[in-house]
Structure 1
Amino acid sequence: MEYRKIFYNVSEKDMSFEDVIDRLKTFITADPRSEYVLSVGTDSHVHAKDTKFITAIHLHRKGKGAWGCLQNTFINRQINSIHEKISIETSLSQEVAYHFTSDYLVELSELLIPFSDEGADLTFEIHLDIGRKGVTKDLIQEMTGRVLAMGVEAKIKPDSYTAFGYANRYTR
């Protein structure tokens, strides 16, 4: 199934999802014996006339760098309900994650060359912009439950760096 949204990063614009997969494959094949964490996370910011959502795809080669890209989504109104905002963030992350789980995770994992019982691994996670402190603590069970129902590990603050760190930088 073709996924038609456009992705970008600081060095490339207008990447299709297939382009993103190619970049991820290139990044893994450059060091196929490493341990990787592939994560998807979304953050948002309410502006005067709309709400901007940034969904990030982040491939971390543990201890050796990362590659990432972003996707913009705009809703033409201010979303002031924290529940609605976090729910949309979770849905956008799930939408991107679905395309990995349905088509590409096995392909990416097959690029790894195990060299021992440790290392050469690919973990897949959805990072949620919620945590045990503040107004989002009441949403943890609902949002992590949605992600876990997909068979994907859910991470919350302080472990959800793709949402509250990487994506957050681009929401303003």
Structure 2
Amino acid sequence: MTNFKLLNYTFQNLSQKEMSFEEVFQNIVQFMKKDPIGNFRLIFGTDSQIHSTYTRFITGIVIQRETKGAWACIRKVVVPRKMLNLHERISYETTLTEEIVSMFSENRKNQLIDIVLPHIYKGSSFTIEGHIDIGSGNRNKTRVFVNEMVMRMESLGIEPKIKPDSFVASCYANRYTK
């Protein structure tokens, strides 16, 4: 059993509000079982937006069946101050992503793998990605943090993605930070 107080974590999407982590996990299982032959990507990513008196962080969880749709939800965290230090904000975004990733215990990951496993010879696959809202381009202020944040994702055993490939953080989560 996990040490997390999962009651403190609530998730939502356009059709469901106040979901528990268990409900999120069951939605992912149902999505995968509905059509288990495919290339599945379980993707996590966080983005933030500074507002007048607070900073809003949104973590997205997406299960995508490539070319065949996705199921997604978000978790919202509000810090009651303007987080103006870029390193602090990027680091906290990564921490929030790490928190959600860590809720997917080995047992839970194995449950998801077991859905796809009978179909690998038909081309099915399952990967886990951590999308980080940073880029390595010369004009990107976050480029100095790329190695640190990428190593943090790799240490969890998930594949890190940065801009322009980090769409869960830079597009999906970003939409809800405003």
Q: TM-score range by the shorter chain?
A: over 0.9
Residue-pair matches, total = 172
TM-score (normalised: structure 1): 0.95
Residue 54 (str. 1) matches residue 58 (str. 2): yes
Query: Is the 8 Å Cα contact of residues 32 and 113 (structure 1) preserved in structure 2?
Result: no
Equivalent-residue separation in structure 2 for 1:75 and 1:102 (angstroms): 30
What are the within-5 Å matches in structure 2 for residues 68-83 of structure 1?
A: 68-83=72-87
Q: 2:167 aligns with which of 120, 137, 161?
A: 161
TM-score (norm 2): 0.92
Distance 2:158 2:115 in 1: 20
Segment drifting more, 84-93 vs 150-159: 150-159
Superposition deviation, residue 103 in structure 1: 3.9
Question: Relative to 1, partners in 2 of residues 1:131 and 1:101: Cα closer, same or farther, differing over 3 Å?
Answer: farther
Query: For 2:71, which of 67, 74, 88 is the aligned residue?
Result: 67
For residues 86-108 of structure 1, the C-alpha deviation after alignment (integer angstroms, 9 at most, x for no partner) is 00000000000011144411111
* Alpha-carbon distance, 1:113 to partner: 5.1
Contact 2:37 2:122 in 1 (8 A): no
Extract unaligned runs of 5+ from structure 2: none
- Indicate the residue corresponding to 1:43 in structure 2: 47
Residue 97 of structure 1 corresponds to 101
Matched, 1:170 2:176: yes
Tell me by how many angstroms 1:157 deviates.
Answer: 0.6
Percentage of identical aligned residues: 39
Please, which of 81, 85, 88 is the counterpart of residue 89 of structure 2? 85
- Quote the Cα distance in structure 2 between the aligned partners of 1:115 and 1:7: 30
Aligned to 1:110, what secondary structure does the other structure show? helix
Q: SS of the counterpart of 1:111? A: helix
Q: Which residue of 2 aligns with 1:34?
A: 38
**Aligned CA distance change for structure 1 residues 127 and 116 (closer, same or farther; 3 Å):** closer
Structure in which a larger fraction of residues adopt helix: 2
Structure 1 residues 13, 142: CA separation in 2 closer, same or farther (over 3 Å shift)?
same
Give the equivalent residue in structure 1 for 2:155.
149
Offset from partner CA, 1:45-101 (integer Å, 9 cap, x none): 000010000000011100000100000001000001110000000000000001114
Structure 1 vs Structure 2 CA RMSD = 1.3
Q: Which contiguous aligned blocks of 4+ residues in structure 1 show a shift greater than 6 angstroms?
A: none
In 1, the alpha carbon distance for the partners of 2:79 and 2:120 equals 47
3-state SS, counterpart of residue 104 of structure 2: helix
Aligned counterparts of 1:106 and 1:113: Cα–Cα separation in 2: 10
C-alpha separation between the residues in 2 aligned to 1:99 and 1:115? 26
